[in-house]
Amino acid sequence: MFKMRSLAILPIIGSVIAQDVDYAQFVNPFIGSEGAIPGYAYGGGDVFVGGTVPFGMVKLGLDTYEEPINQSALNGGYTPKGHVTGISLMHESGTGGGPKYGFPAQMPLTTIDGDVNLLDNRTYWQSRIGDDVAKVGYFSTKFESGVSVELSASRHAGLYHYTYPESSEKHVLVDFSHYLPYPTRSWDSQFYTGGEIDIQPNSSTYTGYTSIAGGWCIGAPVTVYVCGDFDSPPVEAKAFRGKNTFPVSRHFRSFDNATTPQPTFTGSSARAGPLNDRVGGVFTWSNTTEVKSRVGISFMSVEKACEYKDSELSSWSIEDTTKAAHDEWNRDVFSKIQVDTSEAANKTRLALLYSSLYFMHLIPSERVGENPLWESDEPYWDDWYTAWDIFRNQVSLWHLIQPSYYESMIRSLIDMFRHEGWLPDGRSGNYNGLVQGGSNADNILADAYVKGLSGMINWTDGYAAVKKNAEVLPYFDQNPVDPQGSLKEGRSALDDWIPLGYVSADRNSRAVSKTVEYSLNDFAVSQIAAGEEPGDRDLYFRRSAGWQLSWDPEAESRNFTGFVMPRYANGTFHKTYNITNCGDCNWSDESYEGTAFEYSFVIPHDVERMIELMGGSSHFESRLDYVFQPNTSGVDLGVNGLGITTINNVANEPDFQTPYLYNYLNKQWKSVQRSRQLATDFYFNTSAGIPGNSDAGALNCWLIWQMIGLYPIVTTPVYLLESPWFSDINITVNHNHTLRIRADGLDDGDGKQGYYVQGVIINGEEWNKNWFEHEDAGGIMNEGGEILFKLGTEQKVWETGDVPPSPGHQVIDVGQGYMMTR
């Protein structure tokens, strides 16, 4: 029975709730700062911990060195127990691979004589005493030296507040050759390539730049201009330089005779010179125990860095700066998803929800007006680290709750294509790099396009950008880990993909995962072509079925038959390939970060064909059931897996959608059951409360969708209906409209199971499908409206309508001998 309700009586449409709830109080910024080994970062979230605003260019926090280094991960700078080597303004959050940033830095010291060598962090690094404190926009800690440190930040500047013991000396080291090292690997470690420091005549202000190359994307040098000052004039301020003997500075370094040289003091300024000598300054006070410092940074000029410092941090007050950051987070991020925060509310859930929102708004970094590479009126964003991580559901949430920022991001991506020739898959330090599989910016653009994001986005150029990814083989980037193709940008295996229709395992690396990803990429291209260049649409639509050419109907594993498999250019399959074990699962392997077993489920645009190829609904269902059975995984995730023993790996992006595939069988209750179980088994309000690297917040965002009871199908306007964790949720969508999600009968505390869906009503209409589209029900995701879930304990097949669509559906003969002809 359909009951239409007039839109006129929906009171919430178009209204914005006045809001003064302090959601930020529920955020736990430590979630993900620790891994499976208590006290160590290894295998954890690699998250940034410190002071920042949403998507802030400055993320001010500790840089540490944690020993033993094999149990550490320095990517976010912070580690639970590491020695503090500096406190720097730029960080990533949640990333794997080679650490990036960790500069420019200061370090408060209580002695600079004796054993201390300003060029050797090991002679002055600090353990912490007591507990670190982290809140939204604020961080504090205390060093073994007795110095207390408080930090906060604005968008382009950081505020440091040091309190020294009365009796000690008071110094601040400014180290322009400091960066986050990669102690266990050199090919993608950062290295220092020069700097310059000038101390102004009044000694209170220093300016200059630091330049650091390499790191995660094997990037070009990143030059950051710095302008710092202190709230009281130091009694002494001197610049220094010293030979560059960093172990991994294979470029331009001085010879290393196994000792670290001492610095040479050079008066009020120091320059790196042709051998990239290290530069810095040391500032000393005698008559105060409190020293505050404001530091602005810019990719453009010292002048701009000074302007940011002066305009954004006019008060010098940690409290004021923290409050400003805190208010911005509440206003622009947390209040976008409102749930009951009263006494009766489950505080663990509030922590999980608002912390997840926090972590998914740290990168990319908003750098509007901070693009040193070309002049443009378009916005600029960096730290796409990476599209591979965020395309699957994170961009879809930004689309809803951050439409202004998101439009700005998309314009920035397209502008990169205009000026550099390519969209990034990963980008950091103004440099594209480390494409893991396909060109996944295609998926991001298509997802925005099909949901009607327009504003000032030039979709003519947007289409040209994705079409280039589909057509032009990127030049080889001389990367050291994959001689078969470029890791910088584009699709390195187009030389197979276009003529063969799949990526071959003999001519290219990562054949299985690239084939699966290129298929979705071409579907994405076809989605944009449909509107922008309709004559192209069929070509890319056809290519999006390429995964079927890599489907070996005879491949067998664990009693299941038919998998995407490595296929050679001559058409034969790699028959002995291990379907449950991808080995290192890395750059030069046949499948990247996922087994053939897992990737066989990763065809979001044509689940219908995938089900057919797996032998129909019931075979598909048993195979899906199987990947969630304990002790089935053939891959040893070790300490990195936080106890995951199933083939399905909830900790990594390829499998994000798999637990929701039961919706395609109209057995939505099983999607709810699996996905909830995964969420409750692997996400906690603790430092080790996330199953692996948070990946720019991708894992956190997976949890948010789970908690609001929806899941988006990327590159399509479809959202699957699941089961919310709160009985009333108001989400601000499309700038100022309210999507209300209510759950009648939710009763799931203390092990109760009252979270299975018994029925759904959307905008007053009884909904008989377990999915809906962006524009359904009067444009619910744009105009707002209400989704009412009726929940209960019965595991019920409530949905009688069509299963979710497979808009890329095509049938291609699979198996040996067949090749696509074009």
Ligand X SMILES: *[C@@H]1O[C@H](CO)[C@@H](O)[C@H](O)[C@H]1NC(C)=O
The site for ligand X (CB under 6 A) is made up of 12, 17, 42, 63, 65, 68, 70-71, 85-86, 121-122, 178, 181, 200, 202, 204-205, 232-233, 235, 246-247, 257, 259, 261, 287-288, 338-340, 346, 348-349, 458, 460-461, 506, 558-559, 568, 570, 572, 578, 580-581, 634, 639, 680, 728, 730, 735-736, 740, 749-750
Cα distances from 214 to residues 97, 190, 624, in angstroms, run 12, 4, 41
User: What minimum distance in Å lies between the beta carbon of 804 and ligand X?
Assistant: 26
User: What minimum distance in Å lies between the beta carbon of 192 and ligand X?
Assistant: 9
> CA-CA distance, 684 to 706, in Å (whole number)?
14
Q: What single letter denotes the amino acid at residue 723?
A: S
User: What minimum distance in Å lies between the beta carbon of 768 and ligand X?
Assistant: 26
Closer of 495 and 542 to ligand X (Cβ): 495
User: What minimum distance in Å lies between the beta carbon of 403 and ligand X?
Assistant: 8
In 713-752, which ranges are E strands? 718-721, 728-733, 737-744
CB 318 within 8 A of CB 150: yes
User: What minimum distance in Å lies between the beta carbon of 410 and ligand X?
Assistant: 13
User: What minimum distance in Å lies between the beta carbon of 118 and ligand X?
Assistant: 12
User: What minimum distance in Å lies between the beta carbon of 347 and ligand X?
Assistant: 8
Closer of 497 and 523 to ligand X (Cβ): 497
Closer of 340 and 471 to ligand X (Cβ): 340
Closer of 77 and 804 to ligand X (Cβ): 77
* Pairing outcome for strands 756-762 and 765-767: antiparallel
User: What minimum distance in Å lies between the beta carbon of 604 and ligand X?
Assistant: 27
Q: 386: cis peptide before it, omega within 30°?
A: yes
Give me 237's structure tokens.
């301020």
> CA-CA distance, 424 to 454, in Å (whole number)?
20
CB 87 within 8 A of CB 149: yes
- Closest residue to ligand X: CB criterion: 749
Closer of 108 and 181 to ligand X (Cβ): 181
Closer of 642 and 713 to ligand X (Cβ): 642
CB 430 within 8 A of CB 216: no
Closer of 85 and 673 to ligand X (Cβ): 85
Closer of 788 and 797 to ligand X (Cβ): 788
The closest of 73, 17, 7, 4 to 45, measured between CA atoms, is 73
> CA-CA distance, 643 to 625, in Å (whole number)?
19
CB 74 within 8 A of CB 64: yes
Closer of 129 and 456 to ligand X (Cβ): 456
Closer of 404 and 478 to ligand X (Cβ): 404
User: What minimum distance in Å lies between the beta carbon of 809 and ligand X?
Assistant: 30
CB 423 within 8 A of CB 465: yes
User: What minimum distance in Å lies between the beta carbon of 682 and ligand X?
Assistant: 12
User: What minimum distance in Å lies between the beta carbon of 544 and ligand X?
Assistant: 26
User: CA angle, 209 as apex, 204 and 212 as ends, to 5°?
Assistant: 140
The closest of 158, 101, 714 to 431, measured between CA atoms, is 101
Closer of 252 and 568 to ligand X (Cβ): 568
Give me the phi and psi of 142, to 5 degrees please.
Answer: -130, 135
Q: Tokens 């730049």 belong to which residue?
A: 209
Q: Tokens 């299963």 belong to which residue?
A: 803
Closer of 201 and 800 to ligand X (Cβ): 201
Give me 420's structure tokens.
């550099």
Neighbouring CB atoms inside 10 A of 8's CB total: 7
User: What minimum distance in Å lies between the beta carbon of 636 and ligand X?
Assistant: 8
Encode 357-418 in three state secondary structure.
HHHCCCCCEECCCCCCCCCCCCCCEECECCHHHHCCCHHHHHHHHCHHHHHHHHHHHHHHHH
